[in-house]
Amino acid sequence: MPNKKLADRPLNLPSEKRMPLSTPQREARLAVHAAAMADDQDGYIDPVNNMFVMTAKSLADKGFCCDSGCRHCPYED
């Protein structure tokens, strides 16, 4: 698995490839992500599809990209 660098963007801002501006209820999803990161949680329940989503901080703390297509992947695409 190739080593990727952390992307040059804040952890609370997902890549537009992974969460385009047109994503349904994008702002609500970003709000619960921000709350989970503020509470130092590993993830949150998506308010649209009720699936568990890892936070960017939790993914960054792993120290590498797992290439699973995570919504909040903090590494370069």
Number of independent structural domains in the chain? 1
Can you tell me the distance from the alpha carbon of 46 to that of 67, in angstroms, rounded to the nearest whole number? 20
Q: Which two tokens stand for residue 15?
A: 């890549």
Which pTM value belongs to this model?
0.90
**Cα–Cα distance list, 68 to 25, 30, 38, 73 (Å):** 23, 20, 24, 9
Q: Residue 59 belongs to what domain range? A: 1-77
Can you tell me the distance from the alpha carbon of 14 to that of 30, in angstroms, rounded to the nearest whole number? 9
The string of pLDDT tens digits covering residues 21-70 is 999 999 999 999 999 999 999 999 999 999 999 999 999 999 999 999 99
